[in-house]
Structures are given as structure tokens and as C-alpha cells.
A and B are shown apart, each in its own frame.
Chain A
Amino acid sequence: AQSVTQLGSHVSVSEGALVLLRCNYSSSVPPYLFWYVQYPNQGLQLLLKYTSAATLVKGINGFEAEFKKSETSFHLTKPSAHMSDAAEYFCAVSDPGNQAGTALIFGKGTTLSVSS
């Protein structure tokens, strides 16, 4: 079965610093991968997705992620953090081996704090 591991339940950065949120997946078949962001008391918003096209994926709000098959990783980065980036971030994987109605399998989330 697929699983997703997000390293670090809480990451703190200063405004303007690099943001790096880590995600590793377990699968013998390259899955589809997603990053979602959740602001307090809101639903999840799709940041970006990898669906076997380019390995470097650009998303909204200046975020990007790189799919590395050899490392089974899909880490999320942003060159310069902004206060408005403070939120919880979820990595998710779609299991291509599942039947109709494939659900997403989520990591446990990483809370990003940004200080001024």
C-alpha cells in the first residue's frame, strides 16, 4: 500500500528565508503527487501536482516541487518565505494501482511558521 511521510511536523523560518518542506512516498510505481495548503479554519487548496510530465513542477504563490524517483521524494520549496505562507501543508499521493475512485493518501502535515 502507498504511504506518504512528511519529515517534520513543524517548520519555522524567517521572512525572506528559503522554505523546504519534505515529502517521501513509498511506491514501486511512480505515483501522482500533490501538495495542498490549508489556512486556519479553511479547506485544502491545491498548490501543485506532479503527473509524470516535467519533474520540476511550479505551483501557485511561488512554490515549486521536484520529483526525484531515485529518492522517492517530492519536496516543496519556495525561495523566499512571506508571512502569508504560514499554514499547514499536506503532501498527498494518488495510488495508480487502485480501482475506480482512487482516493488520495495524505501525509500527516507540516505546519509552517514564518517570523518577521
Chain B
Amino acid sequence: DAGITQSPRHKVTETGTPVTLRCHQTENHRYMYWYRQDPGHGLRLIHYSYGVKDTDKGEVSDGYSVSRSKTEDFLLTLESATSSQTSVYFCAIGLAGSGQVRYEQYFGPGTRLTVT
């Protein structure tokens, strides 16, 4: 258990509303990630963070923003939710390896978001 929680676990929202998902870790890991999972696509990276206030975009970042003001919390915000953002969102922490290489990641339980 990597001590990762996500909130909320389920959310239904309307198109055009802002939504914030929270990821919380208890083990002080530097690297955190947000992925979305869609049928037939596996998991795709939205944004990641390599430290407090240090974030970068992933493969599918359009329409999403993130913030990390504390090591333990990584927030994902949908500024104006669209139906195409209906998905399951997973947060992950990454274990640091040597040099530039990062090792495995551990995942939270996920948030199921439905945009109507």
C-alpha cells in the first residue's frame, strides 16, 4: 500500500462546470502523475509533477490544469468539463531511481467522473 488516496471516488457533473480532483499521498514521494483510463486506450498521461510547484504536461493535457502546493497533494482541475472528459482518473506516485531513470509507479484507487 503506497498510501495514495483520491477524492472524490465518484462524481457526476454538468458540461461547463469546473471540477477538481484531489490526490493525496502519505509517503513524501517527489513524483506524482495524473492519468486517464478509457476503454481501448489503456492509461494516458495528463500531467505530472516532479516537486512542489514543478509540473509538466503529458500526452493529453488539453482542458486540464494541475497544481501542487504541498508534497502530499496533487490537484487536477477541469476548468470547464466536457463530455469527452468522462473517464476514470488515476493518480500515481513514482519511485525515484538513479540518474534520470524512474522506476515503477503505484496507483491510487481512481475517480470515476461522468460529465453529462
Contacts and interface: CB of A to CB of B under 8 A. Distances in A.
Interface stretch (B12-20, B76-84, B100-108): B100-108
Nearest to A46: B104
A7 to B, nearest CB: 14
Interface string B48-64: 11100000101000000
Question: What DSSP secondary structure best describes chain B's contact surface?
Answer: strand
Residue from A42, A46, A96, A102 with most neighbouring chain B CB atoms (10 Å): A102
Interface in B8-44: 31, 33, 35, 40-44
Contacts, number: 64
A18 to B, nearest CB: 24
A74 interface: no
Interface string B77-116: 0000000000000101010010011111111111000000
B45 interface: yes
Given A44-B90, A96-B100, A103 B58 contact: yes
Contact of B94 (A44, A45, A101): A101
Contacts of B43: 44, 90, 92, 104, 106
A106 B92 CA distance: 13
Contacts of B110: 42-43
A94 B106 contact: no
B42 A103 contact: no
